[in-house]
């Protein structure tokens, strides 16, 4: 089932805005739960950085997922949405003191610690509060991912995580500290990964690290493999639900999980991307000697992915009844040359007033919107809002 548009209803709302088909979201969550329920030790934490719209959060909470946060603001937002603190994991290379305090006060499941200085500060703050912080170390596994350089995270050159060769040392340090309890390891190699081989490589790397640690007498309770599963941006309507079966099967087949261990996932994009679309209105169609521009009222302030990562989002015309197609550059109104959603794409003959849907925009869309050019932030509506 593809994302469903009630065009008459959408046409009655001021553009641009985000539209979320929560039926797609629920089906996606069902597909995840179907796979993870085969194991009593698999836990999925929604990477809330992808979308914090409260209505989206509510559906995800109802499906029973936990949360992966990267800021105090996200922790506050998900607690407000009713997620239990003990299902929250907290990552990030630069956690502020107040964010660490918040995590400790609320009793989150685990801090994913990314450096020794951070570990020392967490220990200090926890000591001041008379608490013990549960920590995992984010290890940089030096595993590449076949994705855009800006969203690759698991290479030695990236700022994330602790080097593999320092792993034993930091664990020993943590074990000597009074106010932290070392629980396990965390990894995340990148985002929009479609090659299962990348995840297989990660699983093998984790097996090696586990063997090495066990030989040194160190046991892990938690293994967190992060997120990164990609979605089909080319054909979202044909493939609205990502391949969760293969994704979870990778870990079942390749990761040597010990019986007492829990395995944690931090999926963001794969959960929310395909349920969302950015709806924009065509303001003008402008032609020059070589091009036709469809100038729309949404811009890079509403969806920055094309400008920032050269990301491709499928664009469809919801209202044109023309049978003849033309090639258009779909561009926004912002005073930046990179404010282009796509170039030379075929659309049915497009005119002023037509509604376009920019698909697969549920992840890293609304949440990355900015007020540049003093533009209002886009509103997000669910299918229920429009019923």
By the criterion CB under 6 A, which residues form the site for ligand LLP? Answer: 47, 50, 68, 91, 151, 153, 188, 191-192, 226-229, 266-270, 305, 309, 364
**176, 131 contact by CB (below 8 A):** no
CB of 148 to ligand LLP, least distance (A): 7
β-pairing, 162-163 with 292-296?
unpaired
CB of 112 to ligand LLP, least distance (A): 7
- Residue (141 or 228) nearer to ligand LLP, CB: 228
**29, 60 contact by CB (below 8 A):** yes
CB of 294 to ligand LLP, least distance (A): 23
CB of 309 to ligand LLP, least distance (A): 6
CB of 364 to ligand LLP, least distance (A): 3
Question: Using DSSP, how many helices (H) and how many strands (E) does the chain show?
Answer: 11, 17
CB of 345 to ligand LLP, least distance (A): 20
In three-state form (DSSP H/G/I as H, E/B as E, the rest C), the secondary structure along 344-383 is EEEEECCCCCCEEEECCCCCCCHHHCCCHHHCCCCEEEEC
Contacts of 120 (CB under 8 A, 6+ apart): none
- Residue (143 or 270) nearer to ligand LLP, CB: 270
What does the alpha-carbon distance between residue 387 and residue 378 come to, in Å, rounded to a whole number? 20
CB of 301 to ligand LLP, least distance (A): 15
- Residue (244 or 364) nearer to ligand LLP, CB: 364
Residue 69, phi then psi, degrees to nearest 5:
-110, 155
- Residue (49 or 317) nearer to ligand LLP, CB: 49
- Residue (126 or 270) nearer to ligand LLP, CB: 270
What does the alpha-carbon distance between residue 194 and residue 147 come to, in Å, rounded to a whole number? 8
What does the alpha-carbon distance between residue 272 and residue 295 come to, in Å, rounded to a whole number? 27
What does the alpha-carbon distance between residue 317 and residue 277 come to, in Å, rounded to a whole number? 12
- Other beta carbons within 10 angstroms of residue 146's beta carbon come to 13
- Residue (152 or 210) nearer to ligand LLP, CB: 152
CB of 349 to ligand LLP, least distance (A): 31
- Residue (153 or 382) nearer to ligand LLP, CB: 153
- Residue (92 or 333) nearer to ligand LLP, CB: 92
Q: Is the dihedral of CA 342, 347, 353, 356 positive or negative?
A: negative
- Other beta carbons within 10 angstroms of residue 320's beta carbon come to 19
């Amino acid at each position: 089932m593809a994302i469903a548009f009630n065009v008459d209803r959408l046409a009655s709302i001021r553009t641009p805005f985000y539209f979320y088909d929560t039926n797609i979201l629920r089906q996606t969550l069902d597909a995840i739960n179907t796979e993870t329920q085969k194991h009593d030790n698999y836990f999925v934490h929604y990477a809330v950085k992808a979308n914090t719209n409260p209505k989206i959060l509510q559906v995800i909470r109802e499906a029973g997922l936990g949360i992966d946060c990267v800021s105090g603001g996200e922790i506050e937002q998900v607690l407000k949405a009713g997620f239990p603190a003990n299902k929250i994991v907290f990552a990030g290379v630069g956690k502020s003191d107040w964010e660490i305090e918040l995590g400790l006060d609320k009793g989150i499941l685990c801090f994913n610690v990314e450096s020794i200085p951070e570990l020392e500060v967490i220990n200090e703050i926890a000591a001041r509060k008379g608490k013990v912080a549960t920590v995992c170390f984010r290890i940089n596994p030096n595993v590449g991912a076949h994705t855009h350089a800006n969203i690759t995270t698991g290479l030695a050159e990236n700022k994330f995580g602790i080097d593999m060769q320092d792993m034993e040392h930091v664990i020993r340090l943590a074990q000597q500290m009074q106010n932290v309890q070392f629980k396990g390891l965390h990894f995340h190699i990148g985002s929009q990964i479609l090659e299962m081989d990348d995840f297989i490589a990660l699983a093998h790397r984790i097996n090696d690290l586990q063997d090495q640690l066990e030989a040194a007498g160190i046991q892990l309770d938690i293994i967190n493999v992060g997120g990164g599963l990609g979605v089909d941006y080319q054909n979202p309507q044909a493939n609205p639900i990502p391949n969760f079966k293969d994704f979870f099967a990778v870990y079942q087949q390749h990761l040597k999980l010990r019986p007492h261990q829990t395995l944690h996932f931090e999926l963001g994009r794969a959960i929310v991307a395909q349920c969302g679309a950015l709806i924009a209105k065509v303001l003008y169609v402008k032609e020059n000697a070589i091009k036709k521009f469809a100038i729309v009222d949404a811009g890079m302030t509403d969806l920055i992915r094309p400008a920032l990562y050269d990301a491709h989002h499928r664009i469809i015309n919801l209202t044109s009844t023309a049978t003849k197609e033309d090639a258009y550059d779909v561009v926004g109104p912002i005073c930046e040359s990179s404010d282009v959603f796509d170039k030379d794409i075929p659309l049915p003959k497009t005119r002023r007033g037509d509604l376009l849907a920019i698909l697969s925009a549920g992840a890293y869309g609304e949440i990355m919107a900015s007020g540049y050019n003093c533009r209002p932030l886009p509103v997000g509506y669910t299918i229920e809002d429009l019923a």
